[in-house]
Structures are given as C-alpha cells and as structure tokens.
Structure 1
C-alpha cells in the first residue's frame, strides 16, 4: 500500500511538472517578440529561480563539496543548456515544433548507446527511434526542402540532447548518507546555470525597459513582468522541483513518459494563446514523434541483464535484495515489485 501511494504521488508530481514546463514557451515567446533576446530571457529565468532558491542553497551548502560533478552537470546541461537552446529554437520555429524536436532526446540517447557504446538495443527501442525520426521528417516537412528554419531545428536537437541529460542526472542523487537532496541539487543547478549563462548572455546589454512594458500574446497586451514571473516561479521553480522529485520516486523512464504531456500542453497553449497552427502533416508527424519516443522509453528487457538495455534509463547500481523466507516477507510487499520498478529505470 505504501509503495502504491508513493507511486501515485510520484505520478502526480510528474504530471504537475509536465503542465508547468508546458507553459514556459507561450510565456517566453511574447517577451522575445517584444524585443528581448532568447538568451536574455533564459538568463532572467535562471537567475530569477536561483535568487528564489538561494536560501535552499545556503541550507545545503555542503553539497558542492560532496557532489561537485552532479551539480556541475545539472547546472550546465539540464538547466543552462536545455533552456538556452529551447528559447533560441522557439525564436525561429513554432513552440510546438520546438518541443516535439526536443523530445527526440530519448531517441538520441539510444543512438549513442547503440553506435558509440556498441551495446545492444531492444527491438521496441529501435522501432521507437524509427518512428520518432520519421515523425520528425513530417514535422519539418522535408519534402518542402526543410520549410522550417534549419538553425531553429539544430537548436531544437541541441535541446533534445540536454533534455536527455536532465532525466539521467535528476536520478543520480544517490541513497543513504551520500544522498543529494532534490532541493539542494535544484538550487545549486540554478546557481551554476546562472553563472554559465551570464558569461554568454551578456545581460548588461539587456533592454530592461521591455520588462516594464507590455507584450503581445495572441492579440492581448499582457504586462511583461507578469509573463516573467510565471516563467520563473511556475515554469522553472515548480516545474524543476516537481520533476526532480518525480524522477526520484518513480524512475527517469516513467517520469519521462509522463513528461510527454508537456509537448501536448505546449501545443494546445500555443494554439489558444499565440494563434500558432500546424498543418495536418505536421500534427500527424508530431503524434508519431511522441509515439516513437514513448515506445523507446517503455521498452525493457524481458530477462534481467547485467548491462542496462537501451530504452531503459541508467540508474545507479543497487545491490540485489537478500533472500528472505516467505513468512518474513509477508505484509511488506513483494520485493520483486520494487525490483520491477527499478528495472525500468
């Protein structure tokens, strides 16, 4: 019962994270169209979140000493990298398309495992990759000579690589005395991301007057500062916090599957609030991309394997549960239930 409740709570957190992340693009694009550079919007987003989480960072001030590599990777890739590439992408291509391309992350990870690490890939994972790539071809309408901006597509693919790292790194908190609290990881990830973005975004050139004005959202003039507050508090702090906690409670794989709702939410919001519409071929391609990525992530080996099979996100090694008599295990749940969950991670 306790495991079931924990799983339900994790799924709920993953759903909240997907909804919160899905609203970032529709709030950021009006600010970009109002005159802010994509990197400046990204910098404001990450710096704002870092300031909000500064008390948390102070509380976990021993974390940089214990887990420096984890914090650096999370800050540079899962925070700065994915946000900078995504916002730069939506400045050139529609929000929905940018998200669909970003969710090729699982397929890219499978390609790395198969062709670079030369490790086996399950049949379902391979089918998922083929579907995702074929769907992407429909989204960008390759028969029209890449109708969408090529640089925007490249930026979306870069966001996909960083998005894959987000799910992997979010699960690397460890257990026991060396465990890294999700709040601490998030707080220092934002601080590191803010420092990295400051070096490339050059905020001293930011047009601050844009933030005191209004931005156009589908024909409605909205205060720019209100859009920024939504991006910082909801689409960043709430989204990342619930997302990291969901990965820890479920697994990167299961949390990643629920996160596909982010693309659906973003497409619907972009259509309703920004008036962005996709053609039949692009909608069909988007559905195929999501289906392919879903299949790739849900593929699991039929039998236990000493090496992780592609399509299952890597997690820290865990010792096998000790054998106990049936009477001793009664009332505590079947150990294979938890093992099954982690096998998918």
Structure 2
C-alpha cells in the first residue's frame, strides 16, 4: 500500500511539474506578443484588457459546466474569488504596468518575482511551515539566476514610486500562488479561473473607464519571426494561450505541487520570456542570460529537494 501511495504521489507531482512548466511557458510568451502590439499603437492596458476579456469569454462557459449546477460554491467562495480576481489577476497586471511606466522592466520583474519568498514567509507565519536549508539555498540560487536573466548587473535606477507599484504586483502574484493551491474551497480549478477572470476583466475595464488605465488599440499588422500577421492573431494567442490556458493549468499545478513549489517553478516564466523574445523577435540572449536560466532551474531543483516528504501511510489493521 505504501508503494502504491508513493507511486500516486510521484505521478501527481510529475503532473504538477509538467503543468507548472506549461503555465510558465504560456505566461512567458505574453511579453513578446504584447510588445509588438504596443509598438503599433496599443496601450499596455488595452492589450491586458483584451487578453483577459478573451480568456474570460472562453473559460467562463467551461467553468459553468465544471460546476455541474453547484452554484452555491460560487456564493460560498465569493471572498476567495474576489481576492483572486482583484489581486491575483487585475491587481498584479495593473501594478506591474504602473511600475514599468516609472522604471525599467528588468528591476520591476525582479521585484515582482520575489513573490516566492513572500509565499515562503506566509506559509511559515500562517501554517508553521519553516523553510529548510535546501529551500533557502534554492531561493538564493534562483534569485541570482533572475539577476542574470534580467541583465541587472550593468546598474539600474530605481524610482521609489515604481518600486512600490512593483511590490504591489508581487503581492498580487503571491496571492495567485496561495489561492491557486487551496483545495479546501471545493472549487474546480477551471471554475476558480473563470470566475476570477470575469472579476479581473470587470475591474480593469472600470479602471479604463475612469481613466486610470489608458486604453487605445490599433489595427496595424505586426511582425513575428520575419512574418507579417494580422493584429488579431497575436491577440487571440494572448487570450487563449497566455491567459486562458496558462491560468487554468497554473491553478491545476498549484493544487498538485502546493503554493511554495509552484511559485518557484513559475520563475521559469522569466527564462521562457527570454526564449520567446529570441524566437519571435530575433533578440538573441547574451550568454549570461542563458546561465541565469540554468541557475533558476537549479534553484527550483533545490527547492524541490527541500520540500518535506509526506509521512508514510500506516497500514490498516
């Protein structure tokens, strides 16, 4: 029985890693796709609103099917859904774009991706899950990798307001990992994502209506990997792949790995962003960035090795 339980745990963890990497790759693709649209006249707010709105249109009907008439789950988890939609979806996006209007993208991303450290602190303070030495070593190695991937060694200027906005994005990201991994709600992953995307889209739309998030779109064709495509093609990929798919499999990964492990695997999103910039935008990464990606991966492995092993099941007598 113990072997069977260990095999099930191993299979669940392997599936969780696969889903987490797929989610990180989806999120990592969004930057390259969005950058070309922004260059043609789209505002970041318009790109994000369209991306989340399309994702909500796709995921919400699937969420309704997954609930199987259990609408009481939505009512019972209204606070969790609002937290996920307002902070993890809309809040993280709004704060990040507010940060990059005041400071460079690299340091803003680095601050946002201190979210795994915030998750570790939360689990320690709230649930008494003290991090092991290997977890701390993995976090340090992953942080060094992020510095190299984001090419921050050349020196950057930090704007105080930008830092505060980036910290807000970090809080949103940490909430995403913590809420995604919570299985006590009874909500299927797709239902949590669908409801959260609707809430997040409405929140960003409201910010646009009151003028806090500039909205402007364009219909100019865009170029990726040397080929011109219609403006709506990258928009569809942004909505269907980098939002709908990435959020759903991200929550499914969190349920299997736990918030701490899932948050560290998500750091691969930065390395994936560099890779997609190379493939789609012909921006060849410097050797230090490739080394940084390897260090991030090594940090994830150390964090995994530092995870506590589940206690063996006691055979029934």
**TM class by smaller structure:** 0.7 to 0.9
TM-score when normalising by structure 2: 0.76
In structure 2, the CA distance between the partners of 1:21 and 1:35, relative to structure 1 (3 Å rule), is same
Q: Map Cα deviations across residues 84-127 of structure 1 (whole Å, 9 max, x no partner).
A: 34556677756x88666544321233356679999844222333
Higher relative contact order (CA 8 A, sep 6+): 2
Unaligned runs of 5+ in 1: 305-319, 326-345
Question: Is 1:146 aligned to 2:146, yes or no?
Answer: no
Question: Is 1:74 aligned to 2:84, yes or no?
Answer: yes
Whole-angstrom CA distance in 1 between matches of 2:293 and 2:104: 14
SS state of the match for residue 207, structure 1? coil
For 1:26-175, what aligned pairs fall within 5 Å after superposition?
Answer: 26-59=32-65, 60=67, 61-86=71-96, 93=104, 102-111=112-121, 120-138=130-148, 144-146=154-156, 158-174=168-184
Question: Is 1:222 aligned to 2:214, yes or no?
Answer: no
Greater gyration radius: 1
Q: How much is the aligned-residue C-alpha RMSD, in angstroms?
A: 3.9
Whole-angstrom CA distance in 2 between matches of 1:286 and 1:98: 18
- Aligned counterpart for 2:203 among listed residues 193, 196, 199: 196
In structure 2, the CA distance between the partners of 1:293 and 1:99, relative to structure 1 (3 Å rule), is farther
Unaligned runs of 5+ in 2: none
Shift of 1:294: 5.0
1:101·1:156 contact (CA, 8 Å) conserved in 2? yes
In structure 2, the CA distance between the partners of 1:221 and 1:157, relative to structure 1 (3 Å rule), is farther
2:146·2:270 contact (CA, 8 Å) conserved in 1? no
2:149·2:271 contact (CA, 8 Å) conserved in 1? no
Whole-angstrom CA distance in 2 between matches of 1:293 and 1:182: 24
Shift of 1:236: 0.9
Shift of 1:278: 4.4
1:106·1:296 contact (CA, 8 Å) conserved in 2? no
In structure 2, the CA distance between the partners of 1:136 and 1:154, relative to structure 1 (3 Å rule), is farther
- Aligned counterpart for 1:206 among listed residues 196, 204, 215: 215
Q: Which residue of 2 aligns with 1:16?
A: 22
Q: Which residue of 2 aligns with 1:331?
A: none
SS state of the match for residue 172, structure 2? helix
Q: Which residue of 2 aligns with 1:276?
A: 283
Q: Which residue of 2 aligns with 1:266?
A: 273
72-81 or 83-92, larger mean C-alpha shift:
83-92
Whole-angstrom CA distance in 2 between matches of 1:107 and 1:273: 31
| Count of residue correspondences | 304
1:100·1:263 contact (CA, 8 Å) conserved in 2? no
289-298 or 49-58, larger mean C-alpha shift:
289-298
In structure 2, the CA distance between the partners of 1:97 and 1:296, relative to structure 1 (3 Å rule), is farther
